[in-house]
Structure 1
Amino acid sequence: MRGRTSLGGQQVGFTDTHLIPLVDQGLGNSAYLVDLSDGRALAVDASRDLRDLHAAAGRRGLSVAYAADTHLHADFVSGALQLAHDTGATVLASAAGHRAFDHRGLADGDEVDLGGLTLRALATPGHTDEHLSFLLLDGGRELGVFTGGSLIVDSAARTDLSGGDRTEPLARAQYRSLRRLTALPDAAAVWPTHGAGSFCSAPPGAERTSTIGAQKRTNPLLAASDEDTFVRELLASLGTYPAYFDRLSEVNRLGPAVLTAPPQLPGLDAGQVEALLDGGGHVVDVRPAVDYAAGHIPGALSIPLRDQFATWLGWLLPDTVPLALVTGPAQDLDEIVRQSYKIGYERLAGHLTGGMPAWSAAGHPVATTAFATADRAPAGTYIDVRQQAEYTAGHVPGALNLELGELAARAADAPTGAVVACGHGERAMTAASLLERAGRTDLTVLQGGPADYAAAHGHRLKHDTPRDKQ
């Protein structure tokens, strides 16, 4: 991909090196930083966690002049308003989004002169009603398109985030939007926001970027024979999604709070943590699953600190009550704060100073959870807490699929003495902690996954077919 952009009267080639993808592995999204070759940059779909973006800009000596959002994000707090504060960036977004803060509202066909390059807004509703894609042009040449949650690699983003009555109409809009995008030249790059790991319907293992021509060859939704077939296939692919998705788009419309200093996670003593619990707050234990199993505060929710921490925090707990964190000695407190804040969880009361040893030393009770490898796990009912698509792809015969995100409401469905499992053990420990809060202490968490258990107990994994699911 090459084009020309101006710099002080000179012509400078625009190549792939001018585009810097910034991947959030935990949420499965990509933001983009575009070097405009004159000391300025364009940021597209940046989240509130701006560490990587600022670092990338700093390495090139760039200041972010424009912050474009393709849509009202449901899965992360937008960083556009923060960039406006930090660098004076102009926020570019759909006028139809009715954002309640200063921004340049764009409609279909509107163009922004970036100084040699042009950004053209294309109305591509479907993922949301007000969704825009941004076509990057050099003169009349289409270099690539930031497709947000419209055309994504080998799929299209989900259309059920605006309520059940809007799901099918938006799926039909998505069909028309994808047809519009695929009318672009085959060589034009496709730069989506949602990718593998996102709950906005990106398939697993997909590449993060593509081209229009490649998508016309490989995207199964583009092979749909007509609109009805497309809608049927898209809607059939929709799984569950985190609970916080239902509230975050409005946060982004109103405009999140601008941070004037890095938020901190103060220390709390055991008495303060106990008082927080008694007052209706929650304790989140972010230590590895094995440490939680060995001893934890009764009622604490296990969410190990890893790339997916924010997803499960936002899925399983409200954002309206204070949270106290239990950490291990080597864990990064700043990482906890950054992941929490990027999904709008700001009521972080602090962390237990001294960790579990301090809790025990203060004379408070400690609970444990059975955690066993496959060869030591009991034979019996097997609860698989993975997503339905993971379960369908391969599970222990006779396993009961209770997705982690729905488990709190279905605790009564968990059989007595069951083995609780996921792919490795982290989600299963989270599930066990939810069940313990519901009074269930008779369960064993599998340290491993279905293949380990099946091999240890003489089973073969079962793979569901479409007929099995009917």
Structure 2
Amino acid sequence: MAAVDLVPLVDEGLGNSAYLVDLGDGRALVVDVSVDLRATREVARRRGLKLAFAADTHLHADFLSGARQLASTEGTQILASAAGHREFAHTGLRDEDEVDLGGLRLRVLATPGHTHEHVSFLLLDGQTPVGVFTGGSLIVGGAARTDLVSLDRTEELARQQYASLQRLSMLADEVEVWPTHGAGSFCSAPPGADRTSTIGREKATNPLLRADSEDAFVDALLGSLGSFPPYFLRLGGVNRQGPDVFEDPALRALDVAAARALLAEGARMVDVRPVPEFAAAHVPGAISIPLRPVFASWLGWLAPHDRPLIVLRGAGQDPAEVAWQAAKIGYSNLAGEVAGGLDAWIAAGHPMASTRLVHAEEMNGEQVLDIRQTAEFAGGHLPGAVHIELGEVADRAEELTREPTVVMCGHGERAMGAASLLEQAGHRDLAVLEGGPDDWARVTGRSLETGV
């Protein structure tokens, strides 16, 4: 098997991998890169590479593609499925088309399922298949979800996904598998540390490849589908039309008066500080979304995309990271950040709020609201806990008719986001549990319940 100089570019927050292939002649191919091109460009700069080709396996729903940005700024050639009908300049490719990369070649394999126009790219060295960029088709231990194009096509696409995985399984066992979606992705990647694999390993271990019939495959795949952020339903269309080309995003400074004026006109405040800081003091009505690797997903789940957002951050937090995380999911609506942060807000004499943090041993019969994903809740939760997923809290806040309430997740970050949404909806006697269900069980000596 020929060796290929491939660099995975992992986005731990979105649970995705892009890839850079050094073509050995001063040029590179990149696959499934987002508009947050910082890591891609740094690798290219370090190696002295021109980003000559950008291939997209499908119309991404969970991030804005960076291909058009590269084409505009660096003259990169975009390679994508002709069936995607992208509305900007690109090389439209069909099944079995090949692209000469200068020694290496890409062969297009139509693999619909995750999306209707999905393709995989088989990388060949001469006549030898080396690896295959499978996007959201065959992934490590599974296959990506099929309900993002339209709900009424979910089963149809699941059956196409079955055929696509069968096609990929016909490749030689030693062929490397380089998927885009991995653990942590809301595109239905199963948990696990490995982000790449081989055809042989997947044939031996992937339960979907071992399904004994198409119907069994469809039942297993559709049975694994959880919820996903609402922006997933918009970004495929944006990526088809072509994301806007922009300068590096940044947060402009807003004085307190300007921020308050925007809030009065319907803007929302997103507080990105760590949970303990938000708990101690925050602006009433602010949404708590701590800045961490998964910030983008929860921003896209909890904050509106169609009204201005005002950021409030801590002094040690990087404003560029906030701006880039928002940009990669198409949130171009950041109006700016409060200059001077919370200290400036307090100095101006405006009202403040706080939220209690409690340890397991301090709980005393309060209603418990568990806001984790359904699969997490089913795996083990406090006896009698109410379950509402975080993404549904704002719409279902009126279902909580009893207080006091302790809100919980796995560590506290998502729970504080839920508490901030409940506070906004008028709930007042709220607390957030520090830690998760396993911490509670260890401290109390009680058993968790399972199932839903």
What TM-score do the two structures reach when normalised by structure 1?
Answer: 0.94
Matched position secondary structure for 1:386: coil
How do residues 221-300 of structure 1 correspond to structure 2 at under 5 angstroms?
Answer: 221-259=208-246, 261-300=247-286
- Which is further off, 325-334 or 392-401? 392-401
In 2, Cα distance between the equivalents of 1:378 and 1:350? 41
> What is the match of residue 9 of structure 1?
none
> What is the match of residue 10 of structure 1?
none
How do residues 99-114 of structure 1 correspond to structure 2 at under 5 angstroms?
Answer: 99-114=86-101
Matched position secondary structure for 1:299: coil
Equivalent residue for 2:421, pick from 420, 423, 434 = 434
Paired letter, 1:407:
V
Q: Say whether residues 1:194 and 2:181 are aligned partners.
A: yes
In 2, Cα distance between the equivalents of 1:24 and 1:256? 19
> What is the match of residue 150 of structure 1?
137
Shift of 1:462: 2.3
- Which is further off, 151-160 or 443-452? 443-452
In 2, Cα distance between the equivalents of 1:356 and 1:38? 52
Shift of 1:206: 4.1
> What is the match of residue 51 of structure 2?
64
Paired letter, 2:389:
E
Shift of 1:322: 0.7
Equivalent residue for 2:206, pick from 219, 238, 246 = 219
Where does structure 1 lack aligned partners over 5 or more consecutive residues?
A: 3-14
In 2, Cα distance between the equivalents of 1:405 and 1:419? 18
1:218-245 CA deviation, whole Å, 9 max, x = no partner?
Answer: 0011111100000000000000000100
Matched position secondary structure for 1:120: strand
Paired letter, 2:430:
L
In 1, Cα distance between the equivalents of 2:29 and 2:73? 14
In 1, Cα distance between the equivalents of 2:304 and 2:287? 13
> What is the match of residue 302 of structure 2?
316
> What is the match of residue 376 of structure 2?
390
In 1, Cα distance between the equivalents of 2:355 and 2:130? 55
In 2, Cα distance between the equivalents of 1:407 and 1:216? 40
Shift of 1:73: 0.2
Q: Does the 8 A contact of 2:13 with 2:297 survive in 1?
A: yes
Matched position secondary structure for 1:134: strand
Identity rate, percent: 61
Equivalent residue for 2:439, pick from 452, 464, 467 = 452
> What is the match of residue 12 of structure 1?
none
Q: Does the 8 A contact of 1:41 with 1:64 survive in 2?
A: yes
Equivalent residue for 2:161, pick from 158, 174, 177 = 174
In 1, Cα distance between the equivalents of 2:370 and 2:239? 34
Paired letter, 1:367:
A
In 2, Cα distance between the equivalents of 1:167 and 1:206? 28
In 1, Cα distance between the equivalents of 2:140 and 2:80? 23
In 1, Cα distance between the equivalents of 2:254 and 2:421? 24
1:155-200 CA deviation, whole Å, 9 max, x = no partner?
Answer: 0000000121100000000000000000000000000000000000
How do residues 330-409 of structure 1 correspond to structure 2 at under 5 angstroms?
Answer: 330-409=316-395
Q: Does the 8 A contact of 1:386 with 1:403 survive in 2?
A: yes
Shift of 1:441: 1.2
Where does structure 2 lack aligned partners over 5 or more consecutive residues?
A: none
Shift of 1:122: 0.5
In 1, Cα distance between the equivalents of 2:415 and 2:386? 13
> What is the match of residue 26 of structure 2?
39
Matched position secondary structure for 1:407: helix
Q: Does the 8 A contact of 2:366 with 2:403 survive in 1?
A: no
Q: Does the 8 A contact of 2:58 with 2:118 survive in 1?
A: yes
Paired letter, 2:154:
T
Matched position secondary structure for 2:30: strand
Q: How many residues align?
A: 451
In 2, Cα distance between the equivalents of 1:159 and 1:294? 42
What TM-score do the two structures reach when normalised by structure 2?
Answer: 0.98
In 2, Cα distance between the equivalents of 1:403 and 1:397? 17
In 2, Cα distance between the equivalents of 1:377 and 1:432? 16
Shift of 1:75: 0.1
| RMSD, aligned α-carbons | 1.0
In 2, Cα distance between the equivalents of 1:193 and 1:49? 15
Shift of 1:401: 1.5
